[in-house]
Every structure is written in C-alpha cells, then in structure tokens.
C-alpha cells in the first residue's frame, strides 16, 4: 500500500517538532531554572551545559515552522494568524534568550545582570508562549473558507493557560535532567533535587492537561472511549497503556534521580514527553488543524511534497548524524573547577 505523501510529511513534521521539544526543551528548561541557581558561577556552569548545542537545537523549530509552510501551506495560513499573539511573543522571547547567551559575557555590571535576567525571562516566556500556541492549536481555530476568521485573543482560555503552565513544568524537568547529566558536585546534587520535585509537578500537570483535553471536543472523548458518565472499556483499554506507561516512567524518573543516575533521568523525561505527544496525536488524529483540516486537505501540491522528500531522505540522516557527532564531541561533564580561576 502506498502511504500518501501528505501523511509522510505530517509524520516528518511531527518528528521535527518532537525533536525540537526534546532538545531545545532542555535549553529552555535551563533558562527557567536559572533563578534557582546558587550563584553566578553555577549559572555559568548551567549555561556551559547547553552552549555548544542550543543553536542546532533551535533549528528544529525552524524546520517545524518552515516544514509546515512548505508541506502544508493551508494549515500554516490557517493557524499562524489565529495564533498571532503567542507566536510573536515566542519570537520576541527567543530573541532575548538567543542574544543573551552571548551578551551575558559582554555586559558590564548592570548590563551583565540585565542579560542574565533576559536569558532566564526569555526562556520562561518562550515556554509559556509555546504553551499558548499548543493550547490554542488543540482547541482548534475559527475558520471560514480555510482562512482564520476569529478574534485576536481566541487562543487565550483557561485551557491554554493550563497547557502553558504544564509546558513550563515539563521544560524545567527536561532542563533539570540535562543538568544532572552535564554537571557534577554541588550543582549536580541541586539538579537531582529539582528533578524529583519537577517530576511530581509534571506528572500532575500532564494528568490535568489530559483530562482537560477530553473536554475540548466530543471527538476526543469518543476516541478515548470516555464520556462523563460511562467508559467504553474496549476502546479505552487499547489506549490505556499510555497513561499507565506515563505513571511508570514518572516513578523510574524519581528513582533514577534518587539512585544518582546520570543520563537515565533525561531519557525518562523525554519518554514522558513522547507519551504525552503520542496521546495528543491519538486524540487529534487525523487532523493537522484540529477538527478542520486533515493533512490531505492542507497539503502542498504533490510535486512540491515529492521534491522535498527527495531532499529530506538523504539530508535528515546526515543532519542527525552530525548533530549526534557534535553531542558526542561535547559529551563530557561541564568543568567544575574552571570557574575558580
């Protein structure tokens, strides 16, 4: 059976977005955790833990956005104006975060302090804005003839606020597990404590978002076999492994931090995100603009999709290859003593 080109591209873009979340998520998380560091030296170590890779990580966001434009121009045209405010907010926050990486070390006195705050606030606001985007996306957008036809603040609902808060907790968890992986000594111990607290927060937040998502559209509840009053067990059983697995991973995460594991907590945190992501995909299937457009409805012309596929087939493995290589080069823990000079 031939899989439709549009479906291949939907999966590729979903993978790109997930890689963005898993990779830049820990960068943003480190920024979110910045205010909780003990002193300037610890903040420098935290930054050093992400400095060589953050730029590459952020590129997945460009591939996600650019890919959506290229492969699904109609979905892009429908979603972007609907999510205008949170997307602009995200871009502004990413500007501050991105330049603060460099500027922190060029500023003097107040300047340095300001860029440290800008880095942290930028990371926090970017995470919140992405939560608004995700929340607004899941809710669906008002369309007329395939164009956005709603108001500028449609995305702002209790649901999107909940999603934003959850994403901040989740990114902070990713950041904390990354710090466990990349640091040693005092900061390592502190990061372990963060992981334990944030695992709990994230678990609660995921549960809350999952329940709230059921209320977004009857089609979601139907997909999960749940209504307010009854449970369609055969349907629910098929999807039940997801929440159960999430609970197991939360426990493993907690135990991993307790047992002073270095890399495992990060992998568990990514696993947690993956389960949330898959759960969302099942809930919204088969829509690319929830409850309005499927990938086939929104897709670019076939010749555009196949041209891009011919580029993506050789390029994506190459990109993943050198990305992995760069991570391998910088695999060592951040130098603990370097700051004492």
Partner 1 sequence: MEWDALLLSRLQFAFTIGFHIIFPAFTIGLASFLAVLEGLWLFTKKPIFKNLYLFWVKIFALSFGMGVVSGVVMSYQFGTNWSLFSSITGSVIGPLLAYEVLTAFFLEASFLGIMLFGWKRVGPGLHFFSTCAVAIGTLISAFWILAANSWMQTPQGWTWADDDTMIATNFIDVIFNPSLPSRFAHMVLAAYLTTAMVVAGASAFALLKNRALPESRMALRMAILMMAIVAPMQIVVGHESGVVAHEHQPAKVAAMEGWWQTQTQQPTILFAWPDEAAERNHFEFGLPGLGSWVVAGDANAEVQGLDAFAPEDRPPVWIVFWSFRIMVAMGLAMVTLGLWGAAAWALKRLDAATWYHRALVLAAPSGFVAVLTGWITAEVGRQPYVVYGVLRTADAVSPVSAASVATSLIFFMVVYAIVFSAGALYILRLIAKGPESDEPPPQSKQPPGTPLGAAIEEAP
Cβ of residue 92: shortest distance to partner 1, in angstroms? Answer: 5
Q: Does 308 bind partner 1 (CB under 8 A)?
A: yes
Strand partners, 147: 144
Please report where in the chains the tokens 């995700």 appear, as a residue.
134
Distances (CA, A) of 47 to 20, 51, 131, 181, 264: 18, 6, 23, 14, 21
Cβ of residue 243: shortest distance to partner 1, in angstroms? Answer: 33
3-state secondary structure of 323: helix
If the CB atoms of residues 243 and 297 are measured against partner 1, the closer one turns out to be 297
CB atoms within 10 A of CB 313: 9
If the CB atoms of residues 115 and 224 are measured against partner 1, the closer one turns out to be 115
Answer whether 209's CB lies under 8 Å from 283's CB: no
Q: Does 273 bind partner 1 (CB under 8 A)?
A: no
Residues numbered 274 to 303 that lie near partner 1 (CB under 8 A) are 300-301, 303
83: phi then psi, degrees, rounded to nearest 5:
-105, 30
Answer whether 178's CB lies under 8 Å from 264's CB: no
Cβ of residue 176: shortest distance to partner 1, in angstroms? Answer: 18
If the CB atoms of residues 89 and 205 are measured against partner 1, the closer one turns out to be 89
Residues numbered 177 to 196 that lie near partner 1 (CB under 8 A) are none
**Residue 263: Cβ-neighbour burial (10 angstroms; 0-12, 13-18, 19+):** middle
Of the residues 146, 207, 225, 243, which one makes contact with partner 1 according to CB under 8 A: 146
Answer whether 125's CB lies under 8 Å from 89's CB: yes
Cβ of residue 289: shortest distance to partner 1, in angstroms? Answer: 12
Q: Which stretch binds partner 1 (CB under 8 A): 143-151, 191-199, 235-243, 269-277?
A: 143-151
Residues numbered 147 to 166 that lie near partner 1 (CB under 8 A) are 147-149, 151-152
Residues numbered 52 to 111 that lie near partner 1 (CB under 8 A) are 52-53, 55-56, 58-59, 61-63, 65-74, 76-81, 83-85, 87-88, 91-92, 94-96, 98-99, 101-107, 111
Distance CA 305, CA 191 (A): 44
Cβ of residue 28: shortest distance to partner 1, in angstroms? Answer: 14
Closest CA relative to residue 327, chosen from 34, 45, 56 = 56
Cβ of residue 158: shortest distance to partner 1, in angstroms? Answer: 22
Distance CA 105, CA 44 (A): 10
Q: What string of DSSP letters covers 208-248?
A: HHHHHHHTT-HHHHHHHTB-SS-B-HHHHHHHTHHHHHHHH
Residues numbered 13 to 42 that lie near partner 1 (CB under 8 A) are 40-41
Cβ of residue 223: shortest distance to partner 1, in angstroms? Answer: 28
If the CB atoms of residues 278 and 309 are measured against partner 1, the closer one turns out to be 309
Q: Does 121 bind partner 1 (CB under 8 A)?
A: no
Cβ of residue 292: shortest distance to partner 1, in angstroms? Answer: 14
């Amino acid at each position: 059976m031939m899989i439709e080109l549009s479906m291949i591209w939907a999966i590729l873009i979903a993978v790109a977005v997930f890689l963005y979340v898993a990779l830049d998520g820990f960068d943003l998380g480190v920024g979110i955790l910045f205010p909780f560091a003990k002193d300037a030296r610890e903040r420098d170590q935290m930054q050093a833990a992400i400095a060589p890779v953050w730029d590459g990580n952020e590129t997945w966001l460009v591939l996600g956005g650019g890919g959506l434009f290229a492969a699904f121009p109609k979905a892009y045209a429908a979603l972007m104006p609907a999510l205008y405010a949170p997307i602009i907010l995200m871009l502004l926050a990413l500007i501050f975060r991105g330049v603060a990486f460099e500027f922190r070390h060029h500023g003097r006195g107040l300047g340095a302090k300001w860029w440290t705050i800008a880095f942290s606030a930028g990371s926090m606001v970017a995470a919140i804005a992405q939560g608004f985007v995700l929340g607004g996306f899941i809710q669906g957008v008002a369309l007329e003839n395939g164009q956005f036809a709603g108001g500028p603040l449609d995305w702002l609902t209790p649901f999107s606020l909940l999603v934003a808060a959850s994403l901040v907790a989740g990114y902070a968890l990713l950041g904390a597990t990354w710090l466990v992986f990349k640091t040693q000594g005092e900061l390592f111990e502190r990061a372990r404590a963060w992981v334990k607290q944030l695992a709990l927060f994230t678990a609660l937040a995921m549960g809350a978002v999952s329940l709230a998502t059921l209320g977004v559209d009857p089609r979601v509840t139907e997909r999960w076999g749940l209504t307010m009053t009854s449970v369609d067990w055969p349907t629910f059983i098929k999807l039940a492994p997801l929440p159960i697995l999430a609970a197991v991973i939360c426990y493993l995460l907690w135990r991993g931090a307790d047992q002073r594991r270095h890399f495992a907590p990060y992998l568990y945190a990514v696993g947690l995100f993956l389960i949330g992501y898959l759960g969302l995909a099942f809930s919204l299937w088969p829509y690319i603009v929830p409850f309005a457009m499927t990938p086939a409805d929104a897709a670019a012309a076939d010749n555009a999709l196949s041209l891009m596929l011919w580029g993506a087939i050789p390029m994506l493995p190459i990109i993943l290859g050198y990305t992995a290589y760069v991570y391998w080069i910088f695999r060592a823990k951040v130098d603990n003593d370097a700051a004492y000079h």
